[in-house]
Chains A and B, each alone.
Chain A
Amino acid sequence: MTVESILDVDNLTTHFFTQDGLVKAVNGVSYRVAKGETIAMVGESGCGKTVSALSILRLVQEPPGKIVSGRVTFEDVDLLKVSNSEMRRVRGAKIAMVFQEPMTSLNPVLTIGRQVSETLELHQHMGRQAALRETIKLLGMVGIPQAERRVKDYPHHFSGGMRQRVMIAMAIACHPRLLIADEPTTALDATIQAQILELIKNLTRELGTSVILITHNLGIVARYAQRVYVMYAGDIVEHGPAQMVYDKPRHPYTLGLLASVPRLDETRKTRLLSIQGQPPDLIYPPPGCAFKPRCSYGTQCRDEEPELVEVAPGHYCSCQLSRNGKLPW
């Protein structure tokens, strides 16, 4: 790849040691984000997309979780090896994160202005007045009307969409190089969702920020991401440029996902393809390919550990059946 990458995740493995057993949440995943690019991590609940993002920022709860192995290279440094204080300088300033639940991510007893200013004072070492001015400017940038008045308001005075805008303001306050957005609009209405996602797109383009967009919504991926990583049961099963992956999905899971989602523009009503069975138990995962029990082509492949292989320029897939170019589907 000729474009320089700002984040390189190499073989990241994160496990959770729970009372009921060892949960292998993330199993040696590798991905990269180029400068100015928006990538999407897509998968259903339990696939490990959120945990892998939290692992980058070392926000995984140390018991019961543990980042077992791997390397996360950011600005020529392995984030998994730096000290806690160094990590704190990175979080919020160089790599920022926006979470799903705007209702609970903001501190209810501090004003909005305080919370945004806090980030500025902490990382940019701004004085109170300067931080306040910058805060008002940021709130304006994210589309909060009458920002000078609203800095004094508390989170409960804002709607869900507004709170998410505040979270975005906090995230971009220090001009981060990377923004991780974990299901940022799942809890919001459709028209508000569109507003927020467009806002993220415009702001990050303006600031040159790269984005990791974590979602289960295949439409959002199609609209906003240049490259996509498909995750299942803690592994990346397919990745590549969004157009290629959607056009010709090589992994049966990706194929199944795409075929099971109703499209707004479908002309004739066709029966949705449903992937049979349930997502796997992460404590007792099936050996070899985790998707095999649910796969309609599962009888045609050998039992072996799946490996990501390039099946087209820039397009990788871990399914054996995709390698020889003759896909059964």
Chain B
Amino acid sequence: MPVIPEWETTMVKNILIEVKNLSKYFNVTSGLFHQERTKRLRAVDNVSFNIGKGETLGLVGESGCGKTTVGRCILQLYRPMDGEVLFEGTDLCRLTGRELRPLRQKFQIIFQDPSESLNPRFTAADAIGEPLRIHNTVYGHAYQERIAELLNLVGLAPYMGERYPHEFSGGQRQRLGIARALAMNPSFIVCDEPVSALDVSIQAQIINLLDDLQRQFGIAYLFIAHDLSVVRHISHRVAVMYLGKIVELCDRDELYKNPLHPYTKALLSAVPIPDPKVEATRTPIMLKGEIPSPLNPPPGCVFHPRCPSAFAPCSTVAPVYKDVGGGHSVSCLLYPTSRP
């Protein structure tokens, strides 16, 4: 049954995207041809959440948690095995590739590696204008103007349109990626680790740019990253993922002040704060062991082998993702019922 936390239902009119029970598995074959084994890699396992108009939902987690896959599944760049993705009421999972194409003007993606996400043989102007050319909405003089406008919006000079990607710095290439995503005035952008590959001082520029664009155009973001400090800064609400499941989702302040899930607490304590005085008072919670492979998720609660608070049922019973009040949802046996 789909879970829509009660806080979100009050904002029903302003919901842009509803993700319900999204699942994506990959079949991985290993071994030589005689002993071929096909294993199921549960990249995304029954994930549900909503994103409101103009809201930023942060999605954070470590390797194998499935956050990138979630982003791509929403945009139907991977087709989900199960579940629904309702965009302005339409279920994208039911549409064919051809039907999706005109809709793609409304939702876009920015990638992590700015040097990979641009075709090295296209000039900057070609790359940014590609959506305009494909959807044939703007041409001639208006096309040139739009390209100049987009370059300006992301803080680049119009003459840079003739340059090739390899002539730009990493931060500038990321701006080009953002300009391309903005070309068709989308209402939603998946930001897939947009600042992870950039230097610290450039990260701030891009984060500010994304913030400004959101304020100016009311774009909703799904901000996927592994850096919890960045995610907390830019998001309104944050979802924490582990091995394909959402373990906690709540408002960004609530996440810091009152984390419920043991993994969230460990993740928060693992992130160092750039302030020696504060750091002197913190001790990181050490998790045992390594992150398990998504090919062999542990039984019961997927986090239990590493959990400092694990108790008997955790190894056999899988917790249910539920709302515990105030828009705070968690998936942990420590919280069996909703709080008043």
The answer on direct contact between A and B (beta carbons under 8 Å) is yes
Q: How far is the CB of B82 from chain A (nearest CB, A)?
A: 27
Contacts of A216 in B (CB 8 A): 199-200
- Is the beta-carbon distance between A278 and B233 smaller than 8 angstroms? no
B271 in the interface (beta carbon within 8 A) = yes
**Is A153 positioned at the interface, with any CB of B under 8 Å from its CB?**
no
Inter-chain CA distance A224–B282, complex, in Å, is: 12
Q: Is B276 an interface residue (CB 8 A)?
A: yes
CA distance A94 to B172 in the complex (A): 43
Assuming the contacts A190-B267, A194-B270, asked whether A159 and B204 have C-beta atoms less than 8 A apart, the reply is no
Do A189 and B291 touch across chains, with their CB atoms under 8 A apart? Answer: yes
Pair B272/A220 contact, Cβ less than 8 Å: yes
A319 to B322, CA, bound (A): 55
- A275 and B204 in contact (CB under 8 A), knowing A222-B274, A222-B275, A265-B256? yes
Does B253 belong to the interface (CB within 8 Å)? yes
In the bound complex, residues from chain B placing their C-beta under 8 Å from that of A217 are 272
Given A218-B200, A223-B272, A262-B229, residue A191 in contact with residue B169 (CB < 8 A): no
List B61-120 residues whose CB lies under 8 Å from chain A: 62-63
Chain A residues near B123 (CB, 8 Å)? none
Partner of A263, one of B62, B205, B275: B275
CB distance from B313 to the nearest CB of A (A): 24
* In the complex, chain B residues whose CB is within 8 Å of the CB of A279: 169, 199, 201
List chain A residues, Cβ under 8 A from B279. Answer: 219, 222-223
With beta carbons under 8 angstroms apart, the residue of B274, B287, B290 that contacts A261 is B274
Q: Look across to chain A and name the residue whose beta carbon is closest to the beta carbon of B284.
A: A194
Docked-complex contact A161 and B290, CB < 8 angstroms: yes
Residue of B nearest to A195 (CB): B286
Residues of A244-293 contacting chain B, CB below 8 A: 246-247, 256-258, 260-267, 269, 271-276, 278-279
The reply to whether B276 and A272 form a contact with Cβ atoms under 8 Å apart is: no
- On whether the beta carbons of B267 and A191 are closer than 8 Å, the reply is yes
Tell me the complex Cα distance, A278–B200, Å.
11
Q: Is B228 a contact of A44 with CB atoms below 8 Å?
A: no
Quick check: is B126 within 8 A (CB to CB) of the other chain? Answer: no
A95 within 8 A of B: no
The count of A-to-B residue pairs whose CB atoms sit within 8 angstroms is: 131
**Provided the pairs A216-B200, A260-B203, A274-B208 are in contact, do residues A193 and B256 lie with their beta carbons within 8 angstroms?**
no
For residue B153, CB closer than 8 A to chain A, the reply is: no
- Closest residue to A247 on the B side, CB-wise? B277
Quick one: which of A30-82 are within 8 Å of B by CB? 44-45
Asked if A243 is at the interface (CB within 8 A of a chain B CB), the reply is: yes
B276, A222: Cβ atoms under 8 Å? yes
Interface residue B146 (Cβ < 8 Å from any Cβ of A): no
Instruction: Provide the A105-119 mask, 1 if CB < 8 A to any CB of B, else 0.
Output: 000000000000000
A168 at the interface (CB under 8 A from B): no
Q: Whole-angstrom distance between the alpha carbons of A83 and B204 in the complex?
A: 46
Quick check: A219 and B291 within 8 Å, CB to CB? no
B148 at the interface (CB under 8 A from A): no
Given A190-B270, A191-B270, A272-B233: A262 in contact with B207 (beta carbons within 8 A): yes
Q: How far is the CA of A233 from the CA of B187 in the complex (A)?
A: 40
**In the complex, which residue of chain B has the Cβ closest to the Cβ of A45?**
B199
* B333 is an interface residue with CB less than 8 A from chain A: no
Whole-angstrom distance between the alpha carbons of A44 and B202 in the complex? 10
Q: Mark B261-305, 1 if CB is under 8 A from A, else 0.
A: 000001111111111111100101011001100000000000000
Q: A159-B290, A191-B62 are in contact. Are A269 and B272 (CB under 8 A)?
A: no
Within the complex, the shortest CB–CB distance from B257 to chain A, in Å, comes to 9
Q: Does A162 contact B (CB under 8 A)?
A: yes
Contacts of B271 in A (CB 8 A): 190, 219, 264
Q: Do A193 and B270 have beta carbons less than 8 Å apart? A: yes
Within 8 A of A (CB), among B199-241: 199-205, 207-208, 211, 226-230, 232-234
B275 neighbours in A (Cβ, 8 Å): 222, 246, 263
Closest to B172 in A: A278
Does B194 reach chain A (CB closer than 8 Å)?
no
Of residues 201 through 234 on chain A, the ones whose CB sits less than 8 Å from some CB of chain B are 216-224
| Chain A residue with Cβ nearest B62 | A189
**Would you call A260 and B201 a contact (CB within 8 A)?**
yes
Question: Does A242 sit within 8 A of B, measured CB to CB?
Answer: yes
Asked if A44 meets B199 with Cβ closer than 8 Å, knowing A190-B267, A264-B232, the reply is: yes
10 shortest interchain CB distances as A-B pairs: A219-B272, A260-B204, A262-B233, A189-B62, A218-B274, A194-B270, A274-B204, A272-B204, A223-B272, A44-B199
19 residue pairs bridging A and B, Cβ less than 8 Å apart: A189-B226, A190-B62, A190-B270, A191-B291, A192-B62, A194-B269, A216-B199, A219-B271, A219-B279, A221-B274, A222-B272, A222-B275, A223-B272, A257-B201, A261-B204, A272-B204, A274-B201, A275-B201, A275-B204
B: residues with CB less than 8 A from A are 62-63, 169, 171-172, 199-205, 207-208, 211, 226-230, 232-234, 253, 256, 266-279, 282, 284, 286-287, 290-291
**Beyond A195-B286, A274-B201, A275-B205, 14 extra complex contacts between A and B, CB < 8 Å:** A190-B227, A190-B270, A193-B270, A194-B284, A216-B199, A219-B229, A243-B277, A260-B200, A261-B229, A262-B234, A264-B268, A266-B232, A275-B201, A279-B201
